[in-house]
Structure 1
Amino acid sequence: MMIGNLVRRQLHTIISRQTIKPSSPTPPHLHTYNLSDLDLLNPKAYIPLILFYPNNANCRLTADQKVTVLKSSLSLTLTRHYPFAGRFPVTPTTPSYVDCNDEGVVFVESRNDTQLETFRLMTGQDEILGQLFADGVVHQMSASCKNLVTVQVNHFACGGVGLAISMSHLIGDACSLGSFLSHWAYVARYGSVDHQQVLPLNPHFIQSKRTDYSIRPEPAVAAADTTDVFVARRFVFPNSKLSEVKNKVVSEAGGSINNPTRVEVLTSLLFKTAVAAASVKCGSFKPSYLFFMVNMRDRFVEKLPQTTIGNFVSLMMVPVRHTNENSLTMVVAEIKKHKLRFAGIKSVEQLALNNSKSKVGNQDLDNVGKGSYFCSSFCGFPFNKLDFGWGKPMGTTLATKSTGKNGFVLMDTPDGDGVDVLVMLEQQHMKIFENDKEMLSFCQTN
């Protein structure tokens, strides 16, 4: 079946719709959850994730029984993640708090007449993926939307299941989403929030004062010319090949770079290759900038638990202003140098103040819009390990949206033996990028 035909017709039928509330009421003293200064720096958007589960012959649960398990365990999980069952106040500006009123999480069940594999192989930018999310909540928050989290269970024709979750970016980052889903999955398998296997996954909340003032947001980075056509492609890099890249970087650095991570070297390889492709297409080198989110939980003086809910990230910008700086080794070195600047954070307020300051100097303002590349890494998060009682997912997709910007989204492969990358570039640049011999030498070939 052609993807084009899928887009033109309705694929799914809604079976049921209900709101899952916490199994016990939230105490009165927790009825208001103030968003932190860090949270308020984020856009009014959702993080949309789909987990694809095959029809597991070894699982004795029926489709209806699986849904019952998901609902009952979600209800229990919401007693711990109590803000997730609340609502944002309706306001023309960004809401500064969550009303923890236990109204619950929207939970939709649908039947889809397509095979799971059809969706799993999509790039993440296919509009058809939006049908898998409750109420089409995929990206931007509308002014009237008050839900923090929505869930939709999609039953495919093959017997597989697609579990689609959207979480507001105002309440947390990707690490928060991973923590929430891990807690939910463990509760589903062990049946209690008090089980010894579940207790270490309990969320950690940091109470913030009500923010009645506006923090200057991150500098807006202009999108590329809207007349440009952007395309998305997927590439898989096995860990064995990434080890070769790491060895290459260490060797060329002559001892100045020690133990680079696979995300650091892969991000550098992608960025370097994309900048080179743009230079070929344009006929000359243009200053370029890599924007990369860094998880800050372990960079506080007193490290925060990874189960800390909120937006504990910082935006890092690595500039390449001259053509001789666009080498794999130099980009890795710059990433590591910039990461060192994030050490020693003493408080949430300090981190928020650092994040609110402009990261773009005057010398870069003329070029940063057209030469920007955004990288989001979901590697290391537990998405491919989420077992609700019928096995781990065979694939995970982040439903990204084409925004007319260059970017890379990194996720662990289902088997954990590599990194799956979604690359978004201008169409003419992509033609050069996807034929780069060095980059392809580290890719998985089928």
Structure 2
Amino acid sequence: MMIVNLLRSARRQLHTIISHETIKPSSPTPSHLHTYNLSELDLLNPKAYIPLLLFYPNNPNCTLTTHQKSTVLKKSLSQSLTQHYPFAGRLFTPTTPSYIDCNDQGVVFVEARNDSQLDTFQHMTGQDETLGQLFADGVVHYMPPSITNVVRVQVNHFSCGGLGVALSMSHLVGDACSLGSFLSHWASVARYGSSDHRQVLPMKPHFIHYPRSESIRAPAPNGDRDINQIRIFGVRRFVFRNSKLSELKNKVVFEAGGSINNPTRVEVLTSMLYTTAVKAAATKSGTFKPSYLFFMVNMRDKFVEKLPQTTIGNFVSLMMVPTRHTSDTSISSVVAEIKKQKLEFEGIQSVQQLAENTKSSKVRNQDLENIGEGSYYCSSLCGFPYSKLDFGWGKPMGTTLATKSTGKNGFVLMDKADGDGIEALVMLEEEHMKIFENDKEMLSYCQSDSI
């Protein structure tokens, strides 16, 4: 048993690993499915993990003991892996993997006991290194060359009786929608006790099988660079309630003079965060510089024949919104451009077409990687089922990505666990962050206890 002593806020916390095992599929993967080729879209992604944390309070209405909860999680994970068979395999090589060996080696499953309260961790941002102890073997974001696991899980038992479920999934096998689909299936199997239950069957994963090709590898910009060369930016958490987002939507519609109809919460919030960050950079430098918003779009419903949301893989495309003049820095102008570009994504004929469009977009924009502070990246996880994942003891009281700054300006948006609003993790250069977090307009829409 490994014991790790950690000091935080001048108080000693004891974090104890109590078990470290591997959960294998409940049924072996058929021989004809032993090789799962990654698609061209998958190979455009960096070798990184998507690190998700789910926090569950001690539910007085749940009669299960800590041991029984762990047993439920392990058994249901084993059942779920039978259908999500690539998740129990291994990436063929850690350097340039082109397929997953679906060998049923299983998912790393760690249990830990922590003497702190659940809420000690709930509102931490990714920059707080103590979050790393909640993940299996401390793996939070970047994939060390020695690790070829597709999925890693750690269940943390807090002194208050609450649970913290930390799961990392390789970005090469799927996007945030894929992760949400897998977790929904796993939680439903745990809740209903069987993968064949009528409530679970609609969540069955959908896989598209691709031919092997060694020539499609296209490294994602900056995805594999040495983490020691990355400047660490500031990370802050801001909360925007639905009532305030409705006010912001009304303002955008009014300012656009009726040319914008029904803007979404994500569109208006992304636009406000971006324009506020651009203004903060201009204030710091004393001059406006052209800037660019890069926004990831879920493409499953953009195909002529729509893909099920349970389709596993990377089905996203990168939208670029330019801000070349100060006149383009109004929230309404950015919302209008986002809506315009979303319409251009409609009517995708095939995965091959989407891959070609994505690769050509990366080629056109690769010089923008050198802009540095002039590029802002936004990823929205809103609408995915993370806040509804019930393994049998209620929905999580909090969900977050352990998003560590990668030396890029950006925003990650997630639904609030209670459904009332959006939580934004903002990553900016510290000098710009000091200006950003004191912006009066942004703060007027922000919950007062954001950090």
Classify the TM-score, shorter chain. Answer: over 0.9
CA RMSD of aligned residues (A): 2.2
* Alignment equivalent of 1:378, drawn from 375, 378, 381: 381
2:344 matches 1:341: yes
Structure 1 match to 2:3: none
Whether the 8 Å CA contact 1:277–1:432 is kept in 2: the answer is yes
Q: Secondary structure at the match of 2:274?
A: helix
Whether the 8 Å CA contact 2:232–2:405 is kept in 1: the answer is no
Higher mean alpha-carbon deviation, 385-394 vs 140-149, is at: 140-149
Quick one: structure 1 residues 65 and 139, their matched pair in 2 at CA, closer, same or farther if it must change by over 3 Å?
A: same
Give the unaligned 5+ runs of structure 2. Answer: 1-5
Per-residue Cα deviation, 1:395-428 (whole angstroms, up to 9, x for no partner): 0121111212111111111111100111111112
Structure 2 match to 1:387: 390
CA–CA distance in structure 1, aligned partners of residues 282 and 367 of structure 2: 17
Question: What pairs up with 1:247-326 in 2 under 5 angstroms?
Answer: 247-326=250-329
Per-residue Cα deviation, 1:155-184 (whole angstroms, up to 9, x for no partner): 011111100000000000000000000000
Higher mean alpha-carbon deviation, 208-217 vs 345-354, is at: 208-217
* Alignment equivalent of 1:354, drawn from 354, 357, 381: 357
CA–CA distance in structure 2, aligned partners of residues 72 and 261 of structure 1: 39
- Amino acid in structure 2 at the alignment position of 1:169: H
CA–CA distance in structure 1, aligned partners of residues 207 and 291 of structure 2: 38
2:434 matches 1:431: yes
- Amino acid in structure 2 at the alignment position of 1:324: S
CA–CA distance in structure 1, aligned partners of residues 201 and 291 of structure 2: 45
Give the unaligned 5+ runs of structure 1. Answer: none
* Alignment equivalent of 1:139, drawn from 133, 138, 141: 141
Whether the 8 Å CA contact 2:20–2:111 is kept in 1: the answer is yes
* Alignment equivalent of 1:175, drawn from 156, 168, 177: 177
Quick one: structure 1 residues 260 and 159, their matched pair in 2 at CA, closer, same or farther if it must change by over 3 Å?
A: same
Identity of aligned residues (%): 74
Normalised by the size of structure 1, how large is the TM-score?
0.95
Whether the 8 Å CA contact 1:290–1:318 is kept in 2: the answer is yes
Structure 2 match to 1:201: 203
Whether the 8 Å CA contact 2:13–2:115 is kept in 1: the answer is no
Normalised by the size of structure 2, how large is the TM-score?
0.94
Tell me how far 1:363 sits from its aligned partner: 12
Per-residue Cα deviation, 1:239-265 (whole angstroms, up to 9, x for no partner): 111111111111111121111110000
2:114 matches 1:112: yes
Quick one: structure 1 residues 283 and 361, their matched pair in 2 at CA, closer, same or farther if it must change by over 3 Å?
A: farther
Per-residue Cα deviation, 1:22-49 (whole angstroms, up to 9, x for no partner): 1111111111111111100000000011
Q: Secondary structure at the match of 2:148?
A: coil
Per-residue Cα deviation, 1:290-329 (whole angstroms, up to 9, x for no partner): 1111000000000000000000001111110111111111
Quick one: structure 1 residues 362 and 6, their matched pair in 2 at CA, closer, same or farther if it must change by over 3 Å?
A: closer
Whether the 8 Å CA contact 1:149–1:168 is kept in 2: the answer is yes
Q: Which runs of 4+ in 1 moved over 4 A?
A: 6-10, 217-223, 226-229, 359-367
- Count, aligned residues: 442
CA–CA distance in structure 2, aligned partners of residues 386 and 182 of structure 1: 6
- Amino acid in structure 1 at the alignment position of 2:82: T
Q: Secondary structure at the match of 1:299?
A: coil
2:21 matches 1:18: yes
Whether the 8 Å CA contact 1:167–1:177 is kept in 2: the answer is yes
CA–CA distance in structure 2, aligned partners of residues 289 and 261 of structure 1: 20
CA–CA distance in structure 2, aligned partners of residues 105 and 364 of structure 1: 39
Higher mean alpha-carbon deviation, 250-259 vs 381-390, is at: 250-259
Tell me how far 1:124 sits from its aligned partner: 2.4
Structure 2 match to 1:160: 162
Tell me how far 1:5 sits from its aligned partner: 2.3
CA–CA distance in structure 2, aligned partners of residues 71 and 362 of structure 1: 44
2:243 matches 1:240: yes
